[in-house]
Amino acid sequence: MQRTQPFGQGGHCCMDKDDVETKGEGATVRAVDRAIAILQCFTADKPALSVLEIQRRVGLSRPTLYRLLQTLAATGLVKAEGDPQRFRLAHGVMELAHVWLAGLNKIDVARPILEALRESTGETAALFVLREQKRICVLELESHHALTIVRGVGDAGVITVGASGKAILAYLDEPRRNAILNQVTSKTRRAELVKVLDTVRSQGFAMTHGEIIVGAVAFAAPTFNHNGEVTGCVGVFGPKARVKDSDIPRFGALVMQAANAISLQFGYRSGQDAGAKQQKSRRDRREAG
């Protein structure tokens, strides 16, 4: 019978010839595959797991699992706590995430996604970032048509106007959103804007006709960071003469897909955004009352 040591009392994960297996044309290290599988067991819904729960998910023997957990703990990737003992991801994972995020350039990440969006819609596609209470265009890929709508890199505007602004404003955290709405002096205008933002959150994108450029139709969907905070948006805009009402569902879906693809590159996970969570929480409270 093989004996195992209690977790944290020595022991190393050793590799032998059985730890290497061939898959297709390349070889993988089975111990590494198993360690990654353990790390991927932890989720936002289940951040702490017992040994039995991990074992059920990865299908490893108890001795092998303990050896791998010891190695992951020694490198700061997992930690054990409590009685009964449970495991969770540790500071080493955050350090790796920080390095990964630091190496990402938003424009480089967004460019191929916007290129695909421009080709699928036939219209100008742009990336906007949030800076204080303004949205700023940092990347714009102009439509191939002779008649085009363009803003230009560096174009900035308040986020209470236009599809690109409203797509951002709708998903700001509630205190910040309300602070901006309170700056709108007209009560009628403020009430109209609140309704528009509700619609944006409901359908996932904003659409405007001629709010910034006369004769233009604009679509925009928010982008988020790894904390679920809105950081900007993806926009598509074209002339009313070419963008018809029948295009609205397709353009809306395409701009949301592009924004989501960019957000995922920066660690966002669907349903994580703070604005939507606050809206749902408030709705749940109303229903409970």
3-state secondary structure 107-163: HHHHHHHHHHHHHHHCCEEEEEEEECCEEEEEEEECCCCCCCCCCCCCCEEECCCHH
Do residues 150 and 28 share a domain? no
Do residues 27 and 138 share a domain? no
AA letter at 278: Q
Indicate whether 108 pLDDT > 90.
no
**SS3 call for 87:** strand
Q: Last residue of a domain, which of 43, 69, 92? A: 92
What is the spatial distance between Cα 133 and Cα 156, in angstroms, rounded to a whole number?
Answer: 10
- Which domain, by its residues, includes 175? 103-288
What six digits make up the tokens of 248? 């609205």
Do residues 87 and 215 share a domain? no
Q: Give the chain's domain count.
A: 2
pLDDT of res. 280: 47
- Tens of pLDDT, residue by residue over 201-215, are 999 999 999 888 888
Do residues 256 and 197 share a domain? yes
- Tens of pLDDT, residue by residue over 13-46, are 444 444 444 444 445 688 899 999 999 998 878 8
User: Is there a contact between 87 and 196 (Cβ–Cβ < 8 Å)?
Assistant: no
Q: What's 124's domain CATH number?
A: 3.30.450.40
Do residues 231 and 210 share a domain? yes
Indicate the pTM of the whole model. Answer: 0.65
pLDDT of res. 101: 61
- Tens of pLDDT, residue by residue over 211-232, are 888 889 999 999 999 889 999 9
pLDDT of res. 167: 96
Do residues 25 and 122 share a domain? no
Do residues 255 and 235 share a domain? yes
User: Is there a contact between 222 and 170 (Cβ–Cβ < 8 Å)?
Assistant: yes
Q: Last residue of a domain, which of 62, 92, 122? A: 92
Do residues 153 and 270 share a domain? yes
CA 210 to chain centre: 29
**SS3 call for 193:** helix
pLDDT of res. 55: 93
- Tens of pLDDT, residue by residue over 236-254, are 999 998 998 999 999 999 9
What DSSP state is assigned to residue 228?
S
3 within some domain: no
Mean pLDDT of the chain: 83
pLDDT of res. 265: 87
Do residues 34 and 148 share a domain? no
Longest Cα–Cα distance in the chain: 80
What is the spatial distance between Cα 132 and Cα 282, in angstroms, rounded to a whole number?
Answer: 25
Which has the minimum average pLDDT: 109-113, 138-142, 194-198, 212-216? 212-216
Q: Last residue of a domain, which of 92, 117, 141? A: 92
